[in-house]
Chain A
Amino acid sequence: MSGARLRFNRAVTGDYPEMLYFRFASFAVIIAFAALLASRSTQITGMARTYPSILIFAVIVGTLALATKEFLGRKVLATPVSQDVAKIIASPPSSRARFAGFVLVWLAFPWLLVSVGFVVATTITISASFWLLKFGRPGYGIVGAALFSLGCAVLCATVFYIPLPPGAIDDWIGRTLFALSK
């Protein structure tokens, strides 16, 4: 690899040359998304089309210009790689697995909400989150999560009037609160 190219790689991507490919892949994603919107904009007419069309054009041209500028190695004075990414890369595999688990648990939460209702879904998710992040004894975590979920369900039903996704326990709470209010 030539000296100029090496210097460019180090400057743009810090100590992780694969970040360079990530940046170019990201630019490709932005252009692809803008192109998708551009293809859809043909179905719109009048003023509603003009404004987004200008922006789509600006995004495509801007991304291409930025990618070209980086590829030609003119951006020598870049800042180092993001601290959070460096943390993830530097952490041991077990921590990385737990972190991935944390992200997955919370991504699954909306699906769980719809499937089993608020109280059960929230108790399971918070308990799992505590366990993955190594907080205290699992038993305390489960009890705390269950109490929090029940408290939230009661507050949402009586104070905030927010209808939560129902499950068996949520229905029971609703019926009990209705009976108590009579």
Chain B
Amino acid sequence: MLEGFLNALTPTSLFVEMLGVVIGIIFGAIPGLTATLGIALFVPVTFLMTAEHGMIMLGGIYAGGIYGGSISAVLINVPGTPASIVTSWEGHALARQGKARFALGMSALASGTGGFISAIAVLFLTPVLSTLALRFGSAEYCSLLIFSLTIVIVMLETPMTSNLLSCCIGLMLVTIGLDPVEGTPRFTFGVIDLMSGFNLVAVLIGFFCMTQAVRLALDSLQKHTENLVDFSGETSLREMLGALGSRIVTHLRSTVIGIFLGILPALGPVETPFIAHAIERRFNRKGEDFGNGSVSGLIASEASISANVGGSLIPLISLGIPGSGAAAVFIGSLTLHGLQPGPLLFANSPEVIYTFFWGFLAVYIFVLLFGLIGARYCAFVLKIPQSVLATFIAIFSILGSYAINNSIFDVVVMFGATAFALWFQVLRFSILPVVMAVILGPLFEQQVVVLTKTQNSVFDILQRPIADCFLLASFLIIVFGVIGRMRKKGARIKALEGMEQIDDA
């Protein structure tokens, strides 16, 4: 382990750590270019390096790519990667309140420290935590997903019935394509491109990037010449550390959630911030501020995403199971370097593995530094006219959708998703339950089918304590949510009646 530590501090290691983070941040900040694409593109470059340096560089691209998405999310409300959607809600709302620099700094701080803690977990807890993942069966998965969806449906300010309907519509839409268990084509209408369903990245680009281009175009025509966000306010490191310190429980809770969900296969950096944000919204005293520029919400999102990246490396290294798409590409690159992921990796190549672990820890220090130092130079983005931003967001959205499979069909899907999101906005339905359903839907269906085939009765499910806890929590959230809404509604009706009496008088 000590040899690995020293190897990770050599000038070459430090250089590849920095290079990986910078490349990752650039990839992450551009909508449509994801961390997975960055890793895949730079795998051939790692052949010029030793195995450990190659792994460190890919780790840097992964971590930097996930963080980089937050920069455009905070500044122009365009998530650079699907993982940054939650960050855009909180970070951009903070930026519009004149706290752009603070939001960028906080996102770097939460991301860097969350990732750092997850890297420590990777270093010391890999063998222990990987066994925990094996205890998570279909009952636990189903109950966790029900819990996440319940929180979103109950806690959003829009009416609960419309949230529930939006969620069902999202779940229904993702059934289009091949059935995830038996491979039966469903609702494809003879269109071959629909066999694989709607591409998630294209849908999310449509929901969040292209809609922002439309809004900016509208604003530019309305002569809204003021900056999108105010970047003038000074923010000291002490202030940011103070804000993080006062929300340390939020940070630690989200980090633990991120690591844990990272260990579980199928719950990657895209799904994690939604779940962590929803859980934090439930536990936080100011849960009603979530979605409107909550610092706790921003910390929950950023800490959980970065922690998820570290967490996903645990089953990857120890069991050879990829926890996300990027982790799957990572496994491929390990194999190409002649390393076989799994329990024997520690025995066969300890120097490589421990150098990578320490290098990965250093990567998050660079993410933190680049994020904090680079935040002050991001103001140039805000000097770009809205018409130019609208045009380039539109072109990157289209090129990003096209680049996924080199297919015009994905561009059409992206346009469809944009129209859908705008339609929902006009209807005053929240798009969030649809997003959650689209992201979690395929996994939910898969686990429901496995559950119905493996469990004989409901009582079998009730004998699983982890699943029971999630289901009980969901039930309590619904009960308290309904009571809270009824109270609020009663108060508003009283206020309305009072106003009518004044009008009559």
Chain A positions within 8 Å of B, measured between CB atoms, are: 19, 22-23, 26, 30, 34, 37, 40-41, 44-49, 51-52, 55-56, 58-59, 62-63, 65-66, 69, 75-79, 81-82, 84-85, 87-88, 91, 95, 98-99, 102-103, 106-107, 109-110, 113-114, 122, 125-126, 129-130, 133-135, 152, 159-163, 165
Residue among B164, B181, B214, B395 with most chain A CB within 10 A: B395
**Among candidates A37, A81, A152, residue contacting B187 with C-beta atoms closer than 8 Å:** A37
Q: Quick one: which of B322-376 are within 8 Å of A by CB?
A: none
* A66→B428 CA distance, assembly (Å): 13
Q: Judging by beta carbons under 8 Å apart, are B399 and A30 in contact?
A: no
**Among candidates B169, B172, B411, B452, residue contacting A52 with C-beta atoms closer than 8 Å:** B172
Which chain B residues border A40 with CB–CB below 8 Å? 186-187, 189
Q: Judging by beta carbons under 8 Å apart, are B172 and A55 in contact?
A: yes
**Among candidates B161, B182, B189, B425, residue contacting A62 with C-beta atoms closer than 8 Å:** B161
Residue of B nearest to A30 (CB): B169
* A84→B161 CA distance, assembly (Å): 24
CB distance from A152 to the nearest CB of B (A): 7
* A85→B95 CA distance, assembly (Å): 24
* A163→B92 CA distance, assembly (Å): 34
* A35→B161 CA distance, assembly (Å): 20
Which chain B residues border A126 with CB–CB below 8 Å? 391, 395
* A102→B427 CA distance, assembly (Å): 23
Q: Judging by beta carbons under 8 Å apart, are B412 and A85 in contact?
A: no
Chain B positions within 8 Å of A, measured between CB atoms, are: 41, 159, 161-162, 164-165, 168-169, 171-172, 175, 179, 181-182, 184, 186-187, 189, 213-215, 217-222, 385-388, 390-391, 394-395, 398-399, 402-403, 406, 408, 411-412, 415, 422-423, 425-428, 445, 448-449, 452-453, 489, 492-493, 496
Given contacts A52-B186, A65-B161, A66-B161, contact A82 B493 (CB under 8 A): no
**Among candidates A44, A99, A114, A160, residue contacting B184 with C-beta atoms closer than 8 Å:** A44
Residue of B nearest to A131 (CB): B387
Which chain A residues border B408 with CB–CB below 8 Å? 110, 113-114, 165
* A85→B425 CA distance, assembly (Å): 9
Residue of A nearest to B448 (CB): A51
Q: Judging by beta carbons under 8 Å apart, are B165 and A129 in contact?
A: no
CB distance from A8 to the nearest CB of B (A): 13
* A107→B418 CA distance, assembly (Å): 11
Given contacts A37-B172, A84-B215, A129-B394, contact A134 B221 (CB under 8 A): yes
CB distance from B300 to the nearest CB of A (A): 26
**Among candidates A46, A55, A134, residue contacting B175 with C-beta atoms closer than 8 Å:** A55
Residue of A nearest to B224 (CB): A87
* A10→B45 CA distance, assembly (Å): 62
CB distance from A22 to the nearest CB of B (A): 7
* A46→B172 CA distance, assembly (Å): 17
Given contacts A59-B168, A66-B165, contact A46 B217 (CB under 8 A): no
Q: Judging by beta carbons under 8 Å apart, are A52 and B493 in contact?
A: no
Please report whether the interface of chain A is mostly helix, strand, loop or mixed according to DSSP. helix
Given contacts A59-B165, A62-B164, contact A106 B394 (CB under 8 A): yes
CB distance from A112 to the nearest CB of B (A): 11
Which chain A residues border B385 with CB–CB below 8 Å? 135
Given contacts A47-B449, A98-B221, contact A62 B168 (CB under 8 A): yes
**Among candidates A23, A48, A134, residue contacting B181 with C-beta atoms closer than 8 Å:** A48
CB distance from B361 to the nearest CB of A (A): 30
CB distance from A57 to the nearest CB of B (A): 9
Known: A44-B179, A58-B168. 8 other contacts (CB 8 A): A26-B423, A30-B169, A51-B448, A52-B172, A52-B175, A55-B175, A133-B387, A135-B387
Which chain A residues border B452 with CB–CB below 8 Å? 47
Q: Judging by beta carbons under 8 Å apart, are B222 and A55 in contact?
A: no
Q: Judging by beta carbons under 8 Å apart, are A133 and B390 in contact?
A: yes
Q: Judging by beta carbons under 8 Å apart, are A62 and B165 in contact?
A: yes
Which chain A residues border B428 with CB–CB below 8 Å? 78-79, 81-82
CB distance from A70 to the nearest CB of B (A): 10
CB distance from B149 to the nearest CB of A (A): 13
**Among candidates B165, B169, B222, B422, residue contacting A87 with C-beta atoms closer than 8 Å:** B222
CB distance from B347 to the nearest CB of A (A): 37
* A164→B208 CA distance, assembly (Å): 24
Which chain A residues border B492 with CB–CB below 8 Å? 77
Q: Judging by beta carbons under 8 Å apart, are A46 and B182 in contact?
A: yes
Q: Judging by beta carbons under 8 Å apart, are A48 and B184 in contact?
A: yes
Q: Judging by beta carbons under 8 Å apart, are A133 and B182 in contact?
A: no
Q: Judging by beta carbons under 8 Å apart, are B168 and A55 in contact?
A: yes
* A86→B123 CA distance, assembly (Å): 54
**CB pairs A–B below 8 angstroms (16 shown):** A23-B427, A47-B449, A48-B184, A51-B448, A51-B449, A55-B171, A55-B172, A55-B175, A62-B164, A77-B496, A84-B426, A95-B222, A98-B221, A99-B218, A110-B412, A129-B394
Q: Judging by beta carbons under 8 Å apart, are A48 and B222 in contact?
A: no
CB distance from A60 to the nearest CB of B (A): 10
CB distance from B35 to the nearest CB of A (A): 15
Which chain B residues border A52 with CB–CB below 8 Å? 172, 175, 186-187
* A95→B256 CA distance, assembly (Å): 50
Q: Judging by beta carbons under 8 Å apart, are A48 and B182 in contact?
A: yes
